[in-house]
Amino acid sequence: MSASDDSTTNNATSPASNFIRHIIEQDLQSGKHNGRVQTRFPPEPNGFLHIGHAKSICLNFGVADSYGGQCNLRFDDTNPEKESQEYVNAIAEDIRWLGFQWSGDIRYTSSYFDALHDFAVQLIEKGKAYVCSLSPEQAREYRGTLTSPGTDSPYRERSIEENLALFAQMRAGEFPDGAHSLRAKIDMASPNINMRDPVLYRIRHVEHHQTGSKWPIYPMYDYAHCISDAMECVTHSLCTLEFEDHRPLYDWILQTLESKSLSAASDSTRAASDYVLPRQIEFARLNINYTVMSKRKLKELVTENHVNGWDDPRMPTLSGLRRRGFTPESIRNFCERAGVARSAGTVDVGMLEHSIREDLDSNAPRAMCVLRPLKVTLSNYPEDKPQTLVLPCHPKNEAMGTREISFAKTLYIDATDFEEVPPPKYKRLSPRVEVRLRGGYVIRCDEVVKNAAGEVIELLCSYDPETLGVNPVGRKVKGVIHWVPADTALDVEVRIYDRLFNKENPDDKSIADYKECLNPDSLLVLTGCKAEPSLKTAAAEASFQFEREGYFCVDRHDSNAEKIVFNRTVTLRDSWAKISG
RNA sequence: UGGGGUGUCGCCAAGUUGGUAAGGCACAAGGUUUUGAUCCUUGCAUGCGUUGGUUCGAGUCCAGCCACCCCAGCCA
């Protein structure tokens, strides 16, 4: 996708003004970064991407695209204990699926480990970093508290030579985990705890998914991130609000390092004098009600089997939304609509639903599927005269073509479209009342057949042969209901999803454990649903509007020729539900 | 009680140098309709956390106050 042809795409939501775009435009005007815009999306491969990440992806790739820049994909893989190749692969696929293409190859912070190590040596040589031999517990005590300053580590004044030697030994793997750490020498009394001699490197004898067993020491996020940005010549390093307090450290590290060495290690093709440091800018992360958005919790839902995997259609993960039937376009539009600002808020899930309805309304072909079949026999319809009806696939878009469906004596309608004692304003079928079968004839219910338990098991109706494609004269038929022919209908499974949590904010302080408000009815599996025959050849992931029901897609994993499985993406808007309660 | 942030309609969110409150979602009321869908029309903040101040004029400037969020991982 390119920025230039956006204006001709009426469907696309054009980028809204936001404070980050303002900053970039100002920088472009002042020539701060030599007119360049370089961003990056830096996930840690320790879980699947969720819609909160989509906001960041859309932002980073979006601004790069708007201003003729590039966006890198960099895996922030500095903590091998929690990371894996599986996550790397899944994340890359999700980004591609969302519709974005990163600049060049995938990058890894781990591929900068050598450079990062050399920069650490440089800091030691400058007297700006030292090897600390306090245990993690002791370090915590020395750090002080939010309201009281910390205390200098007894190892803070080690000589440069000693630090260099110790760091070399750390790097050589001569010490056990936790024995020492490399710390920046800043200010133990700083009111900003991130500046109280933060740890730069820790000892961890663990395999890394990219570098194997090459390294016994791993850099910390704060140390690695800013340098990685600088090496990739990132101009605007966009991250979420909780990193605000880290910005002074981000700047301190880059400013303490030799600019020319940073330039030399970077992607820059310009002279070292043209080299400009990246600027970190924070924005509010995305929250949506009735769900949780932290990786830790999502992972817990998966490992404790509250859902069926990261791509369970109830999950706010990109793979879950994809399986649910959300399109990349709808998610991008949603992110655009939600906007980017510095105030932390919670977006209503209704906005997400609006975005997918909007997309699918214009792009999903229509079909009929009866979720709770109720047999209807047309008493006056000839036994031996089935006929083929040709219905448009879309009410407004002829280009989407037509599909065929047979009309016969025995049909199924949805049990919810019949009431023996209809409530006020009811526009569906009830005894002695007429209703239009969508795309077919007008029928009237003559008789209700019940079983021994008194349940309605069949309706005996009569059809008006004069009403195919025309309205009857002299009377108004209020309702239109969907149906399928009994003999050729497909037997399908339909999975009805509802919100995963029944509380707006599962993270609210008044709730002890977010899992308390897990919605027990978030998944309803309907078997024996009857779908129109044209759906037989529906491809995996294909979306349809089941008329009067909602949007559904073919499950990309569980659906096959023997057993067709549909997932309900979202219902249609339903003003009747509001009236009827 | 330290530091860093944020407060504009029920929910998001625009608001250049102060000049008289965009848009979307939701909601409501009409119209069209062989989907109670879509679509169309209309309505929806004399008000911008609050109290003062500056000014001819303040959401925009100043001061105080209040509320909420983030930070004490050798996680990111």
**Strand B nucleotides within 7 Å of a protein CB:** 1-8, 10-15, 22-28, 34-39, 69-76
Phi-psi region of A284 (alpha: psi -120 to 50; beta: other; left: phi over 0): beta
Q: Which residue in the list A285, A337, A375, A515 is annotated as catalytic?
A: A285
Q: Return the closest nucleotide (C1') to the Cα of A442.
A: B34
Q: Measured in angstroms, what separates residue A460's CA from nucleotide B65's C1'?
A: 74
Of A176, A222, A216, A179, the residue nearest A199 (C-alpha) = A222
Q: Measured in angstroms, what separates residue A351's CA from nucleotide B11's C1'?
A: 9
Q: Measured in angstroms, what separates residue A349's CA from nucleotide B47's C1'?
A: 27
* Residue nearest B8 (alpha carbon to C1'): A343
Q: Return the closest nucleotide (C1') to the Cα of A470.
A: B34
- Read off the tokens for A421: 């004692």
Catalytic residue at A207? no
Catalytic residue at A158? no
Predicted model pTM: 0.96
* Residue nearest B33 (alpha carbon to C1'): A395
Q: Measured in angstroms, what separates residue A68's CA from nucleotide B41's C1'?
A: 40
ipTM comes to 0.97
Which residues on adjacent β-strands are paired with residue A322?
none
- As a whole number of angstroms, the distance between CA A349 and CA A207 comes to 40
pLDDT in tens, chain A (581 residues): 333 333 333 334 568 899 999 999 999 999 999 999 999 999 999 999 999 999 999 999 999 999 999 999 999 999 999 999 999 999 999 999 999 999 999 999 999 999 999 999 999 999 999 999 999 999 999 999 999 999 999 999 999 999 999 999 999 999 999 999 999 999 999 999 999 999 999 999 999 999 999 999 999 999 999 999 999 999 999 999 999 999 999 999 999 999 999 999 999 988 898 999 999 999 999 999 999 999 999 999 999 999 999 999 999 999 999 999 999 999 999 999 999 999 999 999 999 999 999 999 999 999 999 999 999 999 999 998 889 999 999 999 999 999 999 999 999 999 999 999 999 999 999 999 999 999 999 999 999 999 999 999 999 999 999 999 999 988 999 999 999 999 999 999 999 999 999 999 999 989 999 999 999 999 999 999 999 999 999 999 999 999 999 999 999 999 999 999 999 999 999 999 998 87
Catalytic residue at A260? no
- Cβ proximity of A280 and A287 under 8 Å: no
- Cβ proximity of A226 and A256 under 8 Å: no
Q: Measured in angstroms, what separates residue A59's CA from nucleotide B48's C1'?
A: 27
Looking at residue A10, the DSSP 8-state letter turns out to be T
